A and B are shown apart, each in its own frame.
Chain A
Amino acid sequence: MSVEHHAFHVTEHLPALAAVVPLIGAVAAALVRNGVAAWLVAVAVAWSLPVISILMLGQVEASGPISYALGGWAPPAGIEFRVDQANAYLAILVSVMAAVVLTGAPRSIADEIEPANRAWYYAVFLLCLCGLMGMIVTGDAFNVFVFMEISSLATYVLIAMGRDRRALLASYQYLIIGTVGATFYVIGVGLLLAMTGTLNLVDLAASLPEVEATRPLIAAAAFIVVGLGLKLALFPMHLWLPNAYAYAPSTASAFLASTATKVAVYLLLRFAFSVFGIDFMLANTPAGVMLMTLAALAMIAGSLSAIFQTNVKRMLAYSSVSQIGYIILGIAMVSETGLTGGISHLFNHALIKGCLFLAVASAVFATGAVRIEDMAGLGRTMPITMGAFVIAGLGLIGVPGTAGFVSKWYLIQGAAEQGMWWIVAVIVVSSLMAVVYVGRIVEVAWFRAPAQRAPREAPIELVAATVALAAAVLVFGLNTDFSAGVAADAARILIEGYAR
Chain B
Amino acid sequence: MRLDTILRVIAKIFIPFILMFGLYVQLHGDYGPGGGFQAGVIVAAGIILYAIIYGIAAAQRAVPPGLVEVMMPLGVAIFAGVGIAGFVTGRNFLDYSNLMHGDMVHGQHWGVFLVEIGVLVTVSSTMLAIFYAFAGRGRE
Chain A residues at the B interface, C-beta cutoff of 8 Å: 1-8, 13, 16, 20, 23-24, 26-28, 30-31, 33, 68-73, 123
Contact = CB atoms under 8 A, between A and B. Distances in A.
A20 B80 CA distance: 8
Interface pairs A-B: 9 shortest CB-CB: A6-B90, A72-B95, A3-B102, A30-B73, A16-B93, A71-B94, A27-B73, A27-B77, A72-B92
A7 B95 contact: no
Contacts of B19: none
Contacts of A5: 90
Contacts of A7: 90
Contacts of B102: 1-4
Contacts of A8: 87-88, 90
Contacts of A70: 92-94
Contacts of A30: 69, 72-73
Given A24-B77, A31-B73, A68-B92, 5 more contacts: A7-B90, A8-B88, A23-B76, A27-B74, A73-B95
A274 B77 CA distance: 35
B101 interface: yes
A69 B87 contact: no
20 contacts: A1-B102, A4-B98, A4-B102, A8-B90, A13-B87, A16-B83, A16-B93, A20-B84, A23-B76, A24-B80, A27-B77, A27-B80, A28-B73, A30-B69, A31-B70, A69-B95, A71-B86, A71-B92, A72-B94, A123-B73
B74 A16 contact: no
B30 interface: no
Contact of A71 (B69, B72, B80, B95): B95
A113 B17 CA distance: 42
B8 interface: no
B38 interface: no
Interface in B44-87: 69-70, 72-74, 76-77, 80, 83-84, 86-87
A6 B91 CA distance: 8
A71 B52 CA distance: 42
A8 B72 CA distance: 29
Contacts of A69: 92, 95
Contact of A13 (B69, B76, B92, B104): B92
Contact of B101 (A3, A16, A23, A24): A3
A13 B103 CA distance: 23
Interface in B91-122: 91-98, 101-104
Nearest to B102: A3
A33 B93 contact: no
A146 to B, nearest CB: 13
A28 B80 CA distance: 12
Contact of A26 (B69, B73, B83): B73
Contacts of A123: 73
B80 A23 contact: yes
B77 A33 contact: no
B72 to A, nearest CB: 7
B22 to A, nearest CB: 24
Given A1-B102, A1-B103, A4-B98, A72 B91 contact: yes
A165 B19 CA distance: 38
Nearest to A120: B69
A13 B74 contact: no
Contacts of A33: 69
A7 B102 CA distance: 14
Contacts of B90: 4-8
Contacts of A4: 90, 98, 102
Nearest to B93: A16
A31 B76 CA distance: 11
A27 B95 contact: no
B76 A27 contact: yes
Contacts of A24: 77, 80, 84
Contacts of A3: 101-102
Contact of B83 (A1, A20, A28): A20
A68 B95 CA distance: 12
Contacts of A73: 95
A275 B90 CA distance: 33
A2 B97 CA distance: 12
A134 to B, nearest CB: 12
A34 to B, nearest CB: 13
B60 to A, nearest CB: 16
